[in-house]
Structure 1
Amino acid sequence: MTVTFELPPALEAREPAAARDGVRLMVSRGTSVSHHRFPELPHLLDPGDLLVVNNSATLPAALLSQGGVRVHVSTEQVDGSWLVELRNADARTGLRLRVPDGEITLLRPYTSRLWVALADVPGDRVSYLQKHGRPIRYSYTDRDWPIETYQNSYATEPGSAEMPSAGRPLTGAVLAALAGRGVLVAPITLHTGVASAEVDEPPYPEWFQVPASTASLIPYVRASGHRVIAVGTTVVRALESSIQAAEGWTDLVIEPDHHLRAVDGLLTGLHEPRASHLKMLTAVAGEATLRVAYAEALRERYLWHEFGDVHLLLR
């Protein structure tokens, strides 16, 4: 992967647009790039195309311990342990952190920055975080935003540590226009962990579900000569993990040479220079497409991160 660039701080989206669908939309078809406003999306797709969205809802997954340590709760593993990240403290095996109504103990490293932890808290992870957590916030944002800011309009299944943000501009008005255009929309669920954009780190296992209704649509759409377009890299991961109805944990890492079985296009945000997601984008569109697109995004001063602009890659 040779798409390299530097992201100027001025291109980091520090706050949401005044309107959710008020962001820009860059469209790549091969090395041809065009620039649009997001409400134009329905007219850039064909009747019969299928948009697959991730209906996972965002949890307030940041906790503040006694002593002021910020704990980001990423995912819950099969054995009930949590994967956590400490943002302003040194982690070590056996470290105990007092959190509201409970305690979190670090057991062992999982990656260079994530730790397996034992959470001695009341209730399950979702209900506990909904009561005691706050949304994860990174330094490029200007202030705290309420959890509603991080929810997609179709989010129904709580579980993600961070918003599957590619779908954030899909407002009710845009979804209605898509339906009027004859574009189909169907859900999957994939609960995202803490993003790995700041390190060269592959995605780790995440829980997903492809419902039977969505799985049955995909071969029908493609056999009819239409496209399956994933809204977000999480959807690509879920659909490429199973094109049949399924649920469970996926550890699939989509490398540039991955042959896509289910996805013909991708609506996504703009990703940081070292983000592992860029490898997936290369599998979707090819390296030449990405080099041209990211040069255009920088030249046209598109905005990055969850409140930023979006990119539609069509094969």
Structure 2
Amino acid sequence: MKTSDFYYDLPEELIAQDPLEDRSSSRLLVLDKKTGKTEHHVFREITDYLNPGDCLVLNDTKVIPARLIGVKEETGAKIEVLLLKRGADDVWETLVKPGKKARPGARISFGDGLLVGEVMEVVEEGNRLIHFEYDGIFEEILDQLGQMPLPPYITHQLQDKDRYNTVYAAHSGSAAAPTAGLHFTPELLKEIEEKGVDIARVTLHVGLGTFRPVKVDDVENHHMHSEFYMIDEEAADKINRAKENGHKVICVGTTSCRTIESAADENGKLKACSGWTEIFIYPGYQFKVLDELITNFHLPESTLVMLVSALAGREHVLAAYEEAVKERYRFFSFGDAMFIKD
């Protein structure tokens, strides 16, 4: 299976640069995974596809303003630091630009010394371990100094940081948003619950590895970076109950999907757990828990296009993407949504 098998042509002007005013008014392309048939809707009409007893799985991770712009203390040179993974004792794994200026021992000042980072060591692929020094509460300083780590295809900063988080974001730790969830409003979630649909909340802290380009020709040689996930007892019970009673489990986003598929045993059963996952889902994968998926439109040749192709078939997915381009759907993080139905 070649990476190039998952290529599609996307005009640049279809890459959404800003979120819509009303989250739930984005468009929704519905794809039947068995037949490849498509329908066009507005996102809030997703309720028509959810039935009493079904379980909707949300990833309640929260994106932190992880992009910090600082200066090297010795030279005043500008350095950008992206927080990736939190370690113990105020040490973070980070991505630093330009990396050559961030050798071990280098000190970087942010906000006129409100926050100071010292480079401790170089880790794989040029990432750096940085120890941070500050007075007060780290999260509050980060909120003051940090910017949202928007993907490179979004060319300007957000006016409102909250728009790169879901309305149900609860646990801080992501370097990128679980973007399929950006379409939900509190009103829409209430309507779904009132319809008798169970809502299960799981957590997967999205790392930038999710968006790393696949640089190998053979898909099976691509290595996923690890991401931390948590499933509590309540969420596991809701998902198990839906499966046992013959109802559907619908994941909001590829991150929710990867969480429950990582945690399930060979019979598709879940229990409360946490850990790190490197699961890579591509065609040939047999889903253990997931039945249906709400997702956005993903980058050509990405691991995310491969995941949706595992669910609905590569030909069906690429034909639906072609149709979305023709119909001028908006693509990627702030773009429109797709529902892959059983």
Q: TM-score, structure 2 length as denominator? A: 0.84
Aligned counterpart, 2:31: 28
Give the superposition deviation at 1:254. 2.1
Distance 1:134 1:216, change over 3 A: same
1:120 to 119, 132, 138: 132
CA offset at residue 139 of structure 1?
4.8
Deviations 1:256-294 (A, max 9, x none): 222211111111111101321122212222222212211
Change (3 A) 1:80 1:247: farther
**CA distance in 2 between partners of 1:102 and 1:253 (Å):** 36
* Rounded Cα–Cα distance in structure 2 between residues aligned with 1:38 and 1:287: 23
- Aligned residue among 73, 76, 86 for 2:86: 76
Q: What amino acid is the match of 1:133?
A: G
User: Would you say 1:257 and 2:260 are equivalent positions?
Assistant: no
Aligned to 1:42: 47
Q: Distance in 2 between matches of 1:280 and 1:78?
A: 33
Relative distance call for 1:115 and 1:290 in structure 2 (3 A) is: same
| SS of corresponding position for 2:261 | helix
> Match of 2:234?
213
- Please give the alpha-carbon distance, in whole angstroms, between the structure 2 residues aligned to 1:80 and 1:253: 30
Alignment check: 8 A CA contact 2:58 2:200 kept: yes
* Runs of 5+ unmatched residues, structure 2: 72-76, 215-221, 264-269
Maintained 8 Å contact 2:200/2:239:
no
Q: For 1:119, give the aligned amino acid.
A: H
Residue 106 (structure 1) shift: 6.1
1:87-118 per-residue CA deviation (whole Å, 9 max, x = no partner) reads: 5565765373513221141622423xx51413
What is the DSSP-based 3-state SS (H/G/I as helix, E as strand, rest coil) of the residue aligned with 2:127? strand
- The separation in 1 between residues aligned to 2:246 and 2:138, in whole angstroms, is 43
Equivalent residues in 2 for 1:1-315 (5 A)? 2-30=5-33, 31-66=36-71, 67-77=77-87, 81-87=91-97, 90=100, 93-94=103-104, 96-100=106-110, 101-105=115-119, 107-111=121-125, 115-122=127-134, 126=139, 128-141=141-154, 143-145=156-158, 146-194=160-208, 196-197=210-211, 199-200=213-214, 202-242=223-263, 243-315=270-342
Tell me how far apart the structure 1 counterparts of residues 109 and 9 of structure 2 sit (CA, whole Å): 38
> In 2 relative to 1, CA 218–211 (structure 1 residues): closer, same or farther, beyond 3 Å?
same
Deviations along 1:46-96, whole A, 9 cap, x unmatched? 222111001111100100011322221122257975332235565765373
Aligned length: 313
CA pair 261-77 structure 1, distance change in 2 beyond 3 A: farther
On the 8 A contact 1:63/1:99 being kept in 2, the answer is no
Aligned in 2, Cα 1:83/1:203: closer, same or farther, shift over 3 Å?
farther
Contact 2:233 2:272 in 1 (8 A): yes
Task: Give 1:15 deviation, angstroms.
Answer: 0.8
* TM-score normalised over the length of structure 1: 0.90
What is the alpha-carbon distance in structure 2 between the residues aligned to residue 232 and residue 74 of structure 1? 20
Amino acid at match of 2:58: V
Inter-partner Cα distance in structure 1 for 2:246 and 2:285: 22
**Would the alpha carbon gap of residues 71 and 262 (structure 1) be closer, same or farther in structure 2, given more than 3 Å must change?**
same
In structure 2, the residue corresponding to 1:75 is in which secondary structure? Answer: strand
SS of the residue aligned with 1:21?
Answer: helix
Q: Is the 8 A contact 1:202 1:276 kept in 2?
A: no
Give the AA of the match of 1:313: I
Cα deviation per residue 1:225-278 (whole Å; 9 max; x = unaligned)? 211011111111110111221012222222322221111111111110132112
Question: Any idea what the Cα deviations from partners look like across 1:149-195, whole Å, max 9, x if unmatched?
Answer: 11211111111111111101110121122123222211001111125
- Contact 1:75–1:192 (CA<8 Å) still a contact in 2? no
